[in-house]
Amino acid sequence: MSVIGSVHSVESLGTLDGPGLRYVVFLQGCSLRCRYCHNPDTWNLKGGKPTASEDLVKEILGYRNFIAKGGVTISGGEPLKQPEFTLDLINRLKREGLHTALDTAGSVPLQLSKPVLDAADLILLDIKSLDDRMCFSLTGMGNALTLSTLAYCQSIGKKVWIRHVLVPGWTLDEHLLQALASFLTAFSCIEQVELLPYHRMGRYKWEQLKLHYSFKDVPEPDAKQLAMARSVFEEQGLKVLMTSLGEEKESKVG
């Protein structure tokens, strides 16, 4: 039986959300309220298009020849806010032989997320900040659920790509980055760390929604800052993917 979910949008040929060429599904709903969110219009669970999982998979299969060596990424919002829909979608895609990735901040309890984490081939886990107080200030929630998600992925041997947004004056701090890099070295499940430069491209959505964008005066990172961040993680022996600022401006942050 098909499951109905709330879909915000799709990207048929994405290159920034997992390995290879990918079909990316952005689901509606998120518990976090990231100050730099690129898509605040995804926050409300009821704001998307009701979609049957079976119908969505049929649409995705129309792109099979293009994404055969890549796969499908389920993003958001926070896809784990719709665990039944996300799980059904992943299972249907896996039966079709397609690679599945889950782009998540792990911001829901494990009792809800475990079946989805078990099913997905790859977890793209966004750690907002290792400092719990900073994480709360950035997102409105602490980091306990995110770190529990990472620990669970380690326990089941699930492949993980860490994502971390570099915000000048906040997370783009050498000492904080060193602490995060050192922390991540303990997890053999982590294949790489993707560093995402903060940008203000989503500010117009905040204005459209009549929301206060508190980061309007936060500068975008420069090349020297990004090089420092990369070196911190590479010095700890971690594989780093540094998305260029130009590419990231076309992707989703938040």
Buried-exposed string 45-60: b where 16+ CB fall within 10 A, e elsewhere: beebeebebeebbeeb
4-248: which CATH topology? TIM Barrel (3.20.20)
**Interval 91-137: pLDDT, tens:** 999 999 999 999 999 999 999 999 999 999 999 999 999 999 999 99
In the chain the first and final C-alpha atoms are separated, in Å, by 32
pLDDT surpasses 70 at 252: no
Nearest alpha carbon to residue 5 among 51, 41, 43: 51
CA distance 85 to 87: 5
Can you give the residue ranges of every domain in the chain?
Answer: 4-248
Q: So what's the pLDDT on residue 254? A: 47
CA distance 195 to 197: 7
CA distance 201 to 197: 12
**Interval 36-75: pLDDT, tens:** 998 999 999 888 999 999 999 999 999 999 999 999 999 9
Q: Which residues pair with 241 in a beta bridge?
A: 194
Q: So what's the pLDDT on residue 244? A: 59
pLDDT surpasses 70 at 247: no
**Interval 201-246: pLDDT, tens:** 878 888 888 999 999 999 999 999 999 999 999 999 999 998 754 4
Q: Edge-to-edge, what's the strand order for the sheet holding 100-104?
A: 49-52, 4-14, 22-27, 71-75, 100-104, 122-126, 159-166, 190-197, 240-242
Average pLDDT, the chain: 93
Q: Note whether 240 and 230 are within 8 A (CB).
A: yes
**Block residue for tokens 């750690």:** 127
What is the CA 47 to chain-centroid distance, rounded? Answer: 19
